[in-house]
A and B are shown apart, each in its own frame.
Chain A
Amino acid sequence: AQSVTQPDIHITVSEGASLELRCNYSYGATPYLFWYVQSPGQGLQLLLKYFSGDTLVQGIKGFEAEFKRSQSSFNLRKPSVHWSDAAEYFCAVGARGSYIPTFGRGTSLIVHP
């Protein structure tokens, strides 16, 4: 079975600074990989996903993530964080053919003005 580890429970950055949220997965083959954002009162929103092809994936809201097979990682990055990016971020992995993602525990992003 697949699993996801998000090693950082909280990340604090200053507005305008760059951001990297870590995600490591465990799966026997090339997985489907996702990043979701959860804001209070709103449903989880898909930021980006990786299925195959280019390992650098561009998403919405200026986010990108890079799939590194050798490191079993799919870290999320943003060059300049905005205060509105403060939220809970979830990495998820899906088995091929399943489409039901297994979620990590989430990383809470705090943005200082």
Chain B
Amino acid sequence: GAVVSQHPSWVICKSGTSVKIECRSLDFQATTMFWYRQFPKQSLMLMATSNEGSKATYEQGVEKDKFLINHASLTLSTLTVTSAHPEDSSFYICSAPVGGTGPNREQYFGPGTRLTVT
């Protein structure tokens, strides 16, 4: 099946600094990617839809100036957490759909990035 990678797998940063997380589709092209946030023992919450060559679409309540998304190529989307604070500590997961627009379309998920802000 399709493979989605994320880098780094974990990162620790100091409060006030920015952190960039990469999401790559390794063996397919993805014009769309999705970014999720997962709190411990909780559900995955969709943060934004990343669109290649255009602006990302953010879900209600997600600060677009804090979570900058860039989808510069068909295989790479980046999420930058700007001026990170401890409350931004979380597990960030990306996904990319494969299979067109029909029922066979499937989401492939990256392994996630654990962000800890101290």
Contacts and interface: CB of A to CB of B under 8 A. Distances in A.
26 contacts: A9-B41, A36-B109, A41-B9, A41-B111, A43-B4, A43-B109, A43-B112, A44-B44, A44-B93, A44-B95, A44-B107, A45-B109, A46-B106, A52-B103, A90-B44, A99-B97, A99-B101, A99-B105, A101-B107, A102-B46, A103-B43, A104-B43, A105-B41, A105-B42, A106-B43, A108-B41
A92 to B, nearest CB: 8
Given A90-B43, A105-B43, A106-B43, A43 B34 contact: no
A70 interface: no
Nearest to A41: B111
Contact of A106 (B42, B95, B107, B111): B42
A103 B111 contact: no
Interface in A1-49: 4, 9, 32, 36, 41-46, 49
Contacts of A45: 109
Residue among B93, B108, B111 with the highest chain A CB neighbour number at 10 A: B111
A101 B45 CA distance: 10
Interface residues of A, number: 23
Contacts of A9: 41
Contacts, number: 48
Interface in A85-113: 90, 99-106, 108
Contact of B93 (A43, A52, A105): A43
Interface of B: 4, 9, 34, 41-44, 46, 49, 93, 95, 97, 101, 103, 105-112
Given A90-B44, A105-B41, A100 B34 contact: yes
B109 A44 contact: yes
Interface of A: 4, 9, 32, 36, 41-46, 49, 51-52, 90, 99-106, 108
B65 to A, nearest CB: 23
A61 to B, nearest CB: 14
Contacts of B49: 100
Give 7 nearest A-B pairs by CB, closest first: A43-B109, A44-B109, A51-B103, A103-B43, A103-B44, A105-B43, A43-B111
Given A102-B46, A103-B43, A105-B43, 15 more contacts: A4-B43, A32-B103, A36-B109, A43-B108, A43-B110, A44-B93, A49-B106, A90-B43, A99-B97, A99-B101, A99-B105, A100-B107, A105-B41, A106-B41, A106-B43
